[in-house]
Amino acid sequence: MTRAKKHRATIGDVSALADVSRATVSRVMNGSPTVDAVIADRVRKAAAELQYRPSNLARSLSLGRTGTVAVSVPDLRNPMLHTVLQGISASAAHDGYHLLVSIAGDDVSQEERHFLDARQRCDGLILVNPRGPEDELRSALLQLSPAVVINRDTTDLPAPTLSVNHERGIALLIEHLKELGHRHLAYVTGPPTAVSDLPRKRAIARALAADSRLEIQTVSGGRDVFDGREAAEEVLRTRATGVLVFNDLVAVGLLSKLRELGISVPDQLSVAGFDDIDLAHCAYPSLTTVKVAHYELGCRAWRELAVLLEHPDSASEAFHSFDADLVRRCSTGPAPEIPR
């Protein structure tokens, strides 16, 4: 025997029971203060009696909002990005918004099209680690508003911009290794598209200019564990006693390969990363790195976007820098007295 499907209440059912128009029901369900209190109460009681649940799609159309914001990331390989997303998601959920995570991919030439496509589906957009040229990003942001940018080291974009002080972070690592007696260092770079590599290299140039006894050689790297493994032999060829690495994932890959090659860290070679992801604690040896408040970075990005969502005409140009702090662990030690 087939059971009849239970009739789901519609806005028409509520308007009939409350003896008001559908438009009035819609205004009450959307929280409009323009409806008389007595009528609004009658509508709410009718909706409760009928167990009416307004359609999210219909509500979005009537309000001109989706209740969703997009977050664009280049990829999801780095746990650092997960922490930023957690901060955004928790803060957005508190304000009744959902996230749509959109992966831009490796083709930088398609990045602007990707941003525009994501923005059309949502009420606002947060760009994490955009990699295109600054002039193209500035032009795109004029079409994407409201939008917020994370991790661009520039103060004049037409959108709130939040950046990690990568330059300070690398400077702290260099000073740490110098205090341990290291004078010959190597730097394992990020991928060619990594904009955040530029302030790291500025810190290195400044350190070299300030200390004529310091030597820092550059080694091509990337953004993940396998890039670190591939860089290991070139790092050893530099004869450096200490290594600065673009991020913790690359550093963990480097540590893994160095173990296979029989290199003792930190007795023969000190290694330092950047980001302080959870994996840095579990690496062997535990990784000296630079800690960044990525969760708080995500929370602040949402607060900046929330202001623009509520006040579209408010000024949107602002730059906020998040400091980086040194975390000393077991992967760095005194420079070896006898070279490898």
Predicted confidence (pLDDT) per residue in 116-157, tens digit: 988 888 999 999 999 999 999 999 998 999 999 999 988 889
Half-sphere exposure of 25 (CA within 13 A, CB side): 24
pTM of the predicted model as reported, rounded to 2 decimal places: 0.80
Local confidence band at 61 (pLDDT 50, 70, 90 cut-offs): very low
Nearest to 278 by CA among 322, 321, 248, 250: 248
pLDDT in tens, 189-237: 999 989 999 999 999 999 999 999 999 999 999 999 999 999 999 999 9
pLDDT of residue 77 exceeding 50, the answer is yes
The whole-number pLDDT of residue 23 equals 79
pLDDT in tens, 30-39: 666 778 888 8
Residue 75 placed within a domain? yes
CATH number for the domain including 21? 1.10.260.40
Q: Give the number of domains in the chain.
A: 3
Q: Are residues 199 and 281 in the same domain?
A: yes
pLDDT in tens, 228-276: 999 999 999 999 999 999 999 999 999 999 999 999 999 999 999 999 9
Phi, psi of 308 (to 5 degrees): -70, -35
The whole-number pLDDT of residue 12 equals 84
CATH number for the domain including 85? 3.40.50.2300
The amino acid at 239: R
E strands, the chain, in order: 68-73, 98-103, 124-128, 147-150, 160-164, 184-188, 215-219, 242-245, 270-272, 289-292, 318-322, 324-327
Q: Are residues 136 and 241 in the same domain?
A: no
Q: Are residues 82 and 183 in the same domain?
A: no
Residue-range definition of the domain harbouring residue 57: 11-63
Q: Which carries the bigger pLDDT value, residue 5 or residue 41?
A: 41
Residues, the chain? 340
Local confidence band at 57 (pLDDT 50, 70, 90 cut-offs): very low
Residue 329 placed within a domain? no
pLDDT in tens, 273-289: 999 999 999 999 999 99
Phi, psi of 117 (to 5 degrees): -65, -45
H/E stretch holding 140 reads helix 134-144
Mean pLDDT, the chain, integer: 90
Q: Are residues 109 and 21 in the same domain?
A: no
Q: Are residues 185 and 149 in the same domain?
A: no
pLDDT of residue 75 exceeding 60, the answer is yes
User: DSSP assignment of 164-209, as one string?
Assistant: E-HHHHHHHHHHHHHHTT--EEEEE---TT-TTHHHHHHHHHHHHH
Highest mean predicted confidence (pLDDT) among 22-36, 41-55, 315-329: 315-329
User: For the ranges 17-26, 82-91, 328-337, which has the lowest average pLDDT?
Assistant: 17-26
Q: Are residues 79 and 59 in the same domain?
A: no
Q: Are residues 279 and 223 in the same domain?
A: yes
Q: Are residues 72 and 155 in the same domain?
A: yes
Residue 334 placed within a domain? no
Q: Which carries the bigger pLDDT value, residue 175 or residue 62?
A: 175
Residue 338 placed within a domain? no
Residue 248 placed within a domain? yes
pLDDT above 90 as % of the chain: 68
Helix (DSSP H) and strand (DSSP E) numbers for the chain: 13, 12
Q: Are residues 153 and 300 in the same domain?
A: yes
Q: Are residues 282 and 191 in the same domain?
A: yes
Nearest to 285 by CA among 268, 257, 265: 265
Where does a domain end: 46, 63, 80? Answer: 63
Q: Are residues 101 and 183 in the same domain?
A: no
What count of other Cβ atoms lies within 10 Å of the Cβ of residue 71? 28
pLDDT of residue 102 exceeding 80, the answer is yes
Phi, psi of 208 (to 5 degrees): -65, -40
Q: Nearest-5° angle of CA 224, CA 233, CA 208?
A: 80
Q: Are residues 143 and 175 in the same domain?
A: no
What count of other Cβ atoms lies within 10 Å of the Cβ of residue 141? 23
Residue 250 placed within a domain? yes
